[in-house]
Amino acid sequence: MHGSDPRNVWDPAWRQAVLIADSNTDRLFGARVAAQLAERAKVLRMTIPAGESGKSREQKGRVEDAMIAAGIDRSACVVALGGGVVLDLAGFVAATYMRGIAHINIATTLLAQVDAAIGGKTAINTPAGKNLIGAFHQPRAVLLDGEALASLGDHELRNGLAEAIKHAVLFDRTLFETIEAWAASRVSLRPAREVVARCVAIKADVVARDERDGGVRHVLNHGHTVAHAIELATEHAVPHGQAVAMGMIVESRLAMQAGSYPAEDLARLGALLDALGLPTAAACSFDDALPFFARDKKTEDAAIRCALPARIGHIAPEPDGSWLRTVDIAALRRAWCAA
Amino acid sequence: MHGSDPRNVWDPAWRQAVLIADSNTDRLFGARVAAQLAERAKVLRMTIPAGESGKSREQKGRVEDAMIAAGIDRSACVVALGGGVVLDLAGFVAATYMRGIAHINIATTLLAQVDAAIGGKTAINTPAGKNLIGAFHQPRAVLLDGEALASLGDHELRNGLAEAIKHAVLFDRTLFETIEAWAASRVSLRPAREVVARCVAIKADVVARDERDGGVRHVLNHGHTVAHAIELATEHAVPHGQAVAMGMIVESRLAMQAGSYPAEDLARLGALLDALGLPTAAACSFDDALPFFARDKKTEDAAIRCALPARIGHIAPEPDGSWLRTVDIAALRRAWCAA
């Protein structure tokens, strides 16, 4: 965390900057960041459409072709300015442009600050699903834009809070209790800087232990097996944070019904999500979502796998040593429908 | 080198195989390889068009969508069967499918056996140039198909011989003399197995010293700065091996005219290429090629850079420690037009 000014982390070897924002973040912050970059490098400023449609093959190709036409070479650094969509697309562009150039992330949403900006996962969507094509490509720096955070509405803040709560549920009961206390007395949905910083530290620690997502990093998918299916089944009408909230509830209830998660903790999780205006029941029927489970990247041989904590603040490996439990469809249906 | 049977190198963890060939290699060897793979895994068999058009964004997307529709997951291994085009495309598909899955290369052309199959460079072309979008993704195994080699015509063999000669020019004067002696007494254009094996060893050694192409690996671009410009200027009417032969002559003459390469060695190189039916003069005018130099990936700030050996069998770093020399356009024009 170096504030939000890219000049603070600029490598003099980067002679060109490719600033990629979505139409919203470009309007709000594009001119400021472009002016900062212009003091260090030649700047190509590009925008993609806001929303998940920005993470498409078509947008990736359009950005690449513009970079080639502008003479961008391997001495360039891609500067991603925005939320998860921009960061994922721009990072993937950087990962494959001339077989990989540098990039830095300036995260403008709470969701991106506590999750997408950290860890080097980049991707685009295809008509069949989210994030199916992508690469691991670590950003050279991650900047958290406080000004942007101050501009976010409650809807955006809730998206990030769901992931912050996920980090707490997985690794830090004290953080969970901090968020609980804040939720009870809060005047806004903007979390304290310390909460964001703790989430960044948790995520960075997990990624450092398993950069390529072959082991412990799988736990970060808690809530996401269900969330991704809901997002696909509703054609992304449900925002990611809401889907993750639903997913944490369904997956935790599944664990509880299997006798491996305390009922009291499920109740506390539900109460906290509710206090923050996050949903605690799935937004679509199980049967609508079922066809979309098999397309999740964690799925091997059509099995459905979930990362299930043992209690709030603690997750342990499954008996087979992996961090994902293979889930029975009937059990998943039961947990889904019990809301 | 494990023969050409993928069963010899199959990892039991790979539960699915995605066999990707071009329309020619599929017709010749697809059924045999698919049957071998079927003994180890569920097989999805796909073809792309033969020729450079197979290395497009469109083909990559088509292959990916078919893999998603077939339920291919992270337990799969992509099996690339063909020449450089198939290996580059299939390797790039593997590099970005669900952020990277395993792949093995079965090289069916001499060119691929001595070059493209080794080193992990994968890429597609865009309308603006070759290999501009791609990734580094090492194959888990490289198989050299002897049966395929026996089926190649002289045209295809010449393509590979140009790269084999390049390896000799860069690192191995004895190999160069072996090829010279063979060229003088040859009964066919099919090189001895030992020549292929020595080229594989040279390439593998360079890649091991600089996997990400930031230093000594640049020397493998000898002849290619010119070759890529010729290929673009002629819209790939000139086959890669011929373009590399032209490129080696132009770049070596440039070095000779700069006083850093023996005239005798340039004459020997020209004589060897000529004896094998490879061209020794550029196929297009310098002015036609000039606009295409700036799009080469080695180019930074529009400078043109070449990897220039000191003599046959030896290349040394430039005075600034890099392996590429920045080349003056007027000098390049002089070398180009002296044929």
Nearest-CB residue to B99 (from A65, A74, A136)? A136
- Whole-model pTM above 0.90? no
Distance CA A219, CA A221 (A): 5
Per residue in A278-293, pLDDT (tens digit) is 999 999 999 999 998 8
- Cα(B81)–Cα(B56) distance, rounded to whole angstroms? 17
- On the question of pLDDT at A99 being above 90, the answer is yes
Whether B71 sits inside 8 A of A95 (CB atoms) is no
Distance CA B122, CA B124 (A): 7
Least CB–CB distance from B99: residue in A15, A123, A299: A123
Radius of gyration over every alpha carbon of chain A, rounded to an integer in angstroms: 20
Are B64 and A132 inside 8 Å of each other by CB? yes
- Judged by a CB distance cut-off of 8 A, whether residue B15 touches chain A is yes
| Residue B23, helix vs strand vs coil | helix
Backbone φ and ψ of B111, nearest 5° = -60, -45
CB contact under 8 A, B96 and A301: no
Please report residues of A whose CB lies closer than 8 A to that of B61: 57, 126
DSSP conformation class of A34? H
Give the β-pairing of B129-136 and B141-144.
unpaired
CB contact, 8 Å: A28 with chain B? Answer: no
Q: Which of B61, B99, B127 sits opposite A135 (nearest CB)?
A: B99
**Amino acid in the structure at residue A336:** W
Asked whether this complex has an ipTM greater than 0.90, the answer is no
Q: To the nearest whole angstrom, how far is the Cα of B65 from the nearest Cα of chain A?
A: 8
Residue in the structure block whose two tokens are 């925005």: A82
**Cβ of B291 under 8 Å from any chain A Cβ?**
no
Q: How far is B134 from chain A (nearest CA, A)?
A: 5
Q: Does A56 touch chain B (CB under 8 A)?
A: no
Q: Is the pLDDT of residue A296 over 90?
A: no
* Nearest partner of A168 among A140, A195, A138, judged by Cα: A195
Query: Is A294 an 8 Å CB contact of chain B?
Result: yes
Q: pLDDT tens digits for A116-141? A: 999 999 999 999 888 999 999 999 99
Please give the DSSP secondary-structure letter assigned to residue B220: G
Is there a contact between A74 and B15 if contact means CB atoms under 8 Å apart? no
Q: Distances from the Cα of A213 to the Cαs of A53, A120, A216, A218, B134, in angstroms?
A: 25, 10, 7, 6, 21
Contact A99 B299 (CB under 8 A): no
Contact between B135 and A99 using a beta-carbon 8 Å cutoff = yes
Q: Which residues of A touch B68 (CB under 8 A)?
A: 126, 128-129, 132, 295
pLDDT at A1: 43
What's the rounded Cα separation, in Å, for the pair B334 and B115?
30
Q: Identify the bridge partners of residue A126 per DSSP, sorted by sequence position.
A: A129
| Cα of B190 vs its chain's centroid, Å | 18
Which residues of chain B are within 8 Å of residue A125 when distances are taken between CB atoms?
none
Instruction: Specify the pLDDT at position A129.
Output: 84
| A219 CA: distance to closest CA in chain B (Å) | 17
User: A68 and B297 in contact by Cβ < 8 A?
Assistant: no
Percent over 90 (pLDDT), chain A: 85
pLDDT of residue B301: 58
Q: What confidence score (pLDDT) does residue B1 get?
A: 43
Segments of chain B with pLDDT less than 70: 1-3, 294-302, 339
Q: Give the integer Cα–Cα distance in Å for B332 and B338.
A: 10
Q: Inform me whether the C-beta atom of residue B150 falls under 8 Å from chain A C-beta atoms.
A: no
Are the beta carbons of B185 and B177 closer than 8 angstroms? no
Give A265→chain B minimum CA distance, Å: 33
Q: What's the mean pLDDT when you consider all of chain A?
A: 93
Judge: B71–A300 Cβ closer than 8 Å, yes or no.
Answer: no
Q: Which residue of A has its CA nearest to B58?
A: A57
| Encoded amino acid at A62, one letter | R
Residue B130: predicted pLDDT: 84
In tens, the pLDDT along A49-62 reads 998 899 999 999 99
Q: Residue A94 and residue B5: Cα distance in Å, rounded? A: 36
Instruction: Give CA–CA dist B138/B95, Å, rounded.
Output: 9
